[in-house]
Amino acid sequence: MTYSATCLLGVEGLLAQELRDMGCEDVHAENGRVLFSGGWDILARANICSRFAERVGIQMGDFQAKSFEELFQGVKALPWEELISREDAFPVSGSSLNSQLHSVPDCQAIIKKAVVERLKKSYRQDWFTEDGPAHRIRFRIMKDQVSVVLDTSGAGLHKRGYRPASNAAPIKETLAAALVKLSRLRSDATFYDPFCGSGTLLIEAATMAQNIAPGIGRRFQAEVWEQTPAGVWERERDRAKSMERRDTGFTATGYDIDPEAVELTRENAKRAGVNVTARVQDIKDFERSTEYGCVVCNPPYGQRLMDQKTAQDIYRQIGRIFMPKRGWSYGVITPDEDFEDLFGRRADKRRKLYNGMIRCQFYQYYKTT
């Protein structure tokens, strides 16, 4: 089968390589998604093990539609009966961008009607109770190109299960994992986040360093489908657990000026099953007491928690603190286009990413000269 894994913009390359490393075939990255193929085991593996995907769906079809009739016929031509049973629920949701078919509610209604007509013919019945397991149909129309998938994840894959509550302005788990990966974190590294908030960067770093599958503690929508082969999800969970490495020597330390944030970090780390140290400390007291260190942080900025001037003062401060040192690297994500001037040095590398709907840059410093 062909699958579609959606992701944050800017993360496509990381996700594509991750899927290849999992054993996925025909991996092809596009804007906001990566297509790949494999059996039901690969579907379960991608859901359980992907750190960067937002959702994984079964790719039902891609076609062009500039009219409701073209949309109806395109959807009706797809083999829905292969994956939707007589009693299954099949709600429809989606989006449209830069397309002639711009009304999302109208597109939802047309797609629903087309699927019903296909299933009527296949099952020779006129009414569907839809009281069985949900097979959510998700569509995306971009520049008149329609993509239709069956969502297999249920809740978004960024919901690992360790963060039932968070402080204000948390960073998304999938983006945090991407920042850690871009920092080339070693499994025996010493990792720091001096603005730890609810601990997301620390926890994602710890699970990555120890190869703990991000979805190992949660459930997925496709697990309850009658079309799913028996035992496939259990086997993939066992496979993921067998690949964990708990004795890597990795350590993670976080600081925050908010005592409640520090306590939240500790609680979330405990739920995630990883060892993380967190304490109340101002960024001005940050010290590089170890020989090696990897710092990744999401400092507060004007659009999130404070006024712009205070945020800029923080950038100047960390520029004085995060000085080049052999064995140390620093990564900072921010939307402030003046960050490098305020920090005091040009980044050795930077990458455009999105934190929610906010366009950001990830600035990396690792050179000593």
**Do 8 and 45 fall within a single domain?**
yes
Is 206 contained in some domain? yes
Is 7 contained in some domain? yes
Read off the pLDDT of residues 321-363 as tens digits, 9 standing for 90 and up. Answer: 999 999 999 999 999 999 999 999 999 999 999 887 889 999 9
Residues with Cβ within 8 Å of 91's Cβ and at least 6 positions away in sequence, in order, are 134, 136, 137
pLDDT attached to residue 316:
95
Q: Are strands 145-151 and 55-64 parallel, antiparallel or unpaired?
A: antiparallel
Is 78 contained in some domain? yes
- Assign residue 300 the CATH number of its domain: 3.40.50.150
**Do 180 and 135 fall within a single domain?**
no
- Whether the pLDDT of residue 304 is over 50: the answer is no
Read off the pLDDT of residues 81-137 as tens digits, 9 standing for 90 and up. Answer: 999 999 999 999 999 999 999 999 999 999 999 999 999 999 999 999 999 999 999
Whether the full predicted model's pTM is greater than 0.85, yes or no, is yes
Specify the DSSP element, H or E, that contains 311: helix 308-321
pLDDT attached to residue 125:
92
Q: Residue 210's Cα: distance from chain center in Å?
A: 18
Q: Where are the alpha helices (DSSP H) in 173-225?
A: 173-182, 200-209
Nearest to 213 by CA among 273, 275, 297: 273
- How many domains is the chain built from? 2
Identify the bridge partners of residue 363 per DSSP, sorted by sequence position. 332, 350
- Average pLDDT for 252-260: 95
* Distance, CA of 181 to CA of 324 (rounded, Å): 21
- Whether the pLDDT of residue 167 is over 80: the answer is no
**Do 186 and 334 fall within a single domain?**
yes
In the numeric block, which tokens belong to residue 346?
A: 């040009």
Percent share of the chain, pLDDT over 90: 88
Is 40 contained in some domain? yes
Residues 48, 138 contacting (CB under 8 angstroms): no
Sign of CA dihedral 140, 145, 148, 149: negative
Is 19 contained in some domain? yes
**Do 144 and 207 fall within a single domain?**
no
- Average pLDDT for 247-266: 94
Is 224 contained in some domain? no
- Assign residue 20 the CATH number of its domain: 3.30.2130.30
Mind giving me the DSSP string for 3-51? EEEE--TT-HHHHHHHHHHHT-EEEEEETTEEEEE--HHHHHHHHHH-S
Is 164 contained in some domain? no
* Distance, CA of 205 to CA of 293 (rounded, Å): 13
Nearest to 274 by CA among 367, 369, 328, 205: 205
pLDDT attached to residue 165:
59
- Whether the pLDDT of residue 368 is over 90: the answer is no
**Do 20 and 116 fall within a single domain?**
yes
* Distance, CA of 169 to CA of 301 (rounded, Å): 10
pLDDT attached to residue 246:
86
**Residue 28 sits in which domain range?**
2-151
**Do 203 and 250 fall within a single domain?**
yes
Read off the pLDDT of residues 18-30 as tens digits, 9 standing for 90 and up. Answer: 999 999 999 999 9
- Average pLDDT for 176-191: 94
Is residue 163 very low, low, confident or very high in pLDDT (cuts 50, 70, 90)? Answer: confident
**CA distance to 8, 271, 323, 343, 344, per residue, from 320 (Å):** 32, 35, 6, 8, 8
**Do 182 and 111 fall within a single domain?**
no
**Do 23 and 77 fall within a single domain?**
yes
- Average pLDDT for 152-175: 84
pLDDT attached to residue 128:
94
**Do 185 and 131 fall within a single domain?**
no
**Do 137 and 237 fall within a single domain?**
no
**If phi over 0 gives left and psi between -120 and 50 gives alpha, with beta otherwise, what is residue 23?**
left
Length of the chain, please? 369
Mind giving me the DSSP string for 127-149? -----S-B--EEEEEETTEEEEE
- Whether the pLDDT of residue 210 is over 50: the answer is yes
Is 271 contained in some domain? yes
**Do 58 and 106 fall within a single domain?**
yes
* Distance, CA of 328 to CA of 213 (rounded, Å): 27
Neighbours of 143 (CB within 10 A): 9
**Do 138 and 196 fall within a single domain?**
no
Residue 245 sits at the vertex; the CA angle it makes with 241 and 251, to the nearest 5 degrees, is 130
Average pLDDT of the chain is: 94
End-to-end C-alpha distance for the chain, whole angstroms: 50
- Average pLDDT for 253-276: 95
Q: b or e along 51-69 (b: 16 or more beta carbons within 10 Å of the residue's beta carbon)? A: bbbbbbbbbbeebebeebe
The helix, strand and coil proportions of the chain, stated in percent and rounded to the nearest 5, come to 35, 25, 45
